[in-house]
Structure 1
């Protein structure tokens, strides 16, 4: 969440930067809302001072032996002031809530490093890594491979839960688990992340702090549990970032690097008709998430670090991919700068997103109340970053497609063999 004073100080610069992502900031409205809150606070302060003076007058009158009528009049005035204070405090709360609700809808200011534009066509390619595999046969897509070998059962998934769900069977389930285990071992062992097992249901304030609410409520699955509502997490970014909500972190303990393998739940309300075939866009999928918390001034370098960690996953698997920098108008609500990693899918003859790595600057930390202090007690701001490292389903799809062979089987990437126990998925669904 933004600080209203900082937005107003930036003025036209804030308007310019938000316009790059298609958001029109109304400075006049923001100034009026901020002024209303300031006036309300001022009125409360004045009334409290007057109430204090009135209480003192009552005491002096009683001690001086003033008539009971005079004392009663002063007491009545004191009571009236307390009533006025309560009303004024209600106005402070109302003005503060209105301003906060307004600020919660304003997206993060994009970095000037993000290119102009509002679609994936405006992204700037940074690099390509690995050569897309060349086949001497027509490559099949992951759905054909998965159903032919029996490792994917989308039909029964639809019977159980409807569209956009999947089932992995036998060696397919083993391969999913192997991918996740490899990613976790890589990030905790080589990259220095601490692994967490986190709740999959979180509160509304948790979702608000990390920026999913109120903007993306239609994309969330909500469940009632007696006297409270909880939300299924759309990504482990939410609980991992919110671990330190309303906390002050010791500056010398930064950066913090966290990872978790969780299911993710998304209604995909805004993606009707997109990627309806296969396992690229599901209501439930699993993902290994990366979160970093650092000093605000270090977020640029931390983003490059985290991006490298996500890329290493694909490099170790031997999968061809590219990295692009997203346009300002195509980034997520919380991000100031985002890199997408896109993996090659032979069946589509193109690169498709497999990871987004985002620098959120101080945006989520402000919303969640995360701060830092140094050894001398000085307070500082922290930045949060998040990235997929990586989603299991999309990685599996890329493995099935890039590693397929002419006989209809799939050669398992060497780094996964210790986790799968097999080196090849045969066309009949058995392994070797």
Structure 2
């Protein structure tokens, strides 16, 4: 959530920056905001005038009583002012709720150094690592390679419908090995604390990280469950949600920062409106696994933390020997809560292109303000933390990349050296 003082101080500048995002208009109803703000200012001025009049009358009542004079008329006026103040307070509460509702739908402001662009065509390549392998014949895609090894799309569809996959045997083991490898690197080498989180969360938790209210249609809803306090629940679309919200409504100690958390979890996304995209294979699924990284940091450290997080994701790809490139996203391609984002795109030989496998974002205070997560600064005052998140990595897409980059002419798959210990010493996957 943006600081409302930004909108009050320079609404035109906020609108101009939002205009650089994709489909900016739904983010902020300027006319409604201005009307509510105008009424709020009038009510606050009226309230201050009424309070001043009540204070003046209270003194006059005291003086009148001290002289033995009749103060009933003055007391009646004070009573009327009390009623007016109560009505003003109730209306102000309504206005604040409506202003808050507006802010909940407004995206984060891109940092000034984020390139301006309408969509992914405006993204900027930062660097590349590794050289794509040259094949003597056309490389096979992960569907053809994986099906003999236990990648079962028909079984997944029979159980759950389109965009679900059933893994069996070598594919299930490779998937597990990748997740374990990623967790070990992030915890043992990069200093993250491993967590296991709920896969079902309450509405206010999703509001905290920005999935709700704007992206409700992209979530899987839990139609039964919860309790009287939390009747509205959802499956997580990423463990960023539960990891980041683990510090919601908390005042942290400055010395506890940074907090670095990681978790392996399934992710559930209905992805309303994305039908027809990447329908073949595992690239775009309704259920997929990720090893997520989250950092809660001092505001002065968030840019350095973002660069560090990108390097932590890169380390996985480098140790697996998978060629990739780092892209800085432009304003029109960034996520709702991000102020700055880098994507890692892995090389997929069968598609002859790079595809996203990790996204690392600095959300600055946007999520912290929604979650009310603060820390005691050097002056002893409560200050909002900055939050960051990134994939380290998407497990299913990494499996796809391993299959395609390590395929052999006979259809077998060479296991990357880094994964051999996690595969019980197996060096090749064969049907």
TM-score (normalizing by structure 2) = 0.91
SS in 2 for 1:85: helix
Give the equivalent residue in structure 1 for 2:135. 135
Matches within 5 A, 1:210-249: 210-223=209-222, 224-225=224-225, 226-227=227-228, 228-249=231-252
Distance 2:80 2:93 in 1: 20
Deviates more, 1:39-48 or 1:391-400: 39-48
**Structure 1 residue 48: Cα displacement:** 5.4
Kept in 2: contact 1:252–1:374 (CA 8 A): no
Matches within 5 A, 1:178-327: 178-223=177-222, 224-225=224-225, 226-227=227-228, 228-327=231-330
Matches within 5 A, 1:386-401: 386-401=389-404
Distance 1:283 1:130 in 2: 30
Kept in 1: contact 2:170–2:429 (CA 8 A): no
Distance 2:46 2:198 in 1: 44
Kept in 2: contact 1:261–1:289 (CA 8 A): yes
Distance 2:137 2:270 in 1: 37
SS in 2 for 1:165: coil
Is 1:159 equivalent to 2:158 in the alignment?
A: yes
Distance 2:429 2:295 in 1: 40
Give the equivalent residue in structure 2 for 1:348. 351
Distance 1:171 1:59 in 2: 88
Kept in 2: contact 1:412–1:422 (CA 8 A): no
Distance 2:55 2:220 in 1: 51
Distance 1:99 1:13 in 2: 18
Kept in 2: contact 1:234–1:265 (CA 8 A): yes
Kept in 2: contact 1:411–1:423 (CA 8 A): no
SS in 2 for 1:371: strand
RMSD: 2.4
Q: Which runs of 4+ in 1 moved over 4 A?
A: 24-29, 44-67, 73-82
Give the equivalent residue in structure 2 for 1:419. 422
Give the equivalent residue in structure 2 for 1:173. 172
Kept in 2: contact 1:344–1:351 (CA 8 A): yes
Distance 1:352 1:419 in 2: 25
Distance 2:421 2:3 in 1: 50
CA deviations 1:285-325 (Å, max 9, x no partner) are 11110111112222211111000000001001111111111
CA deviations 1:65-102 (Å, max 9, x no partner) are 888xx85x777656544443332222111110111111
Distance 2:268 2:380 in 1: 40
Aligned residues: 424
Distance 2:86 2:199 in 1: 41
Distance 2:84 2:13 in 1: 40
**Unmatched tracts of structure 2, length 5 or more:** none
TM-score (normalizing by structure 1) = 0.91
CA deviations 1:118-165 (Å, max 9, x no partner) are 22222111111111122223211111111122x211101101100010
**Structure 1 residue 53: Cα displacement:** 6.8
Distance 1:56 1:169 in 2: 83
Kept in 1: contact 2:142–2:404 (CA 8 A): yes
SS in 1 for 2:158: helix
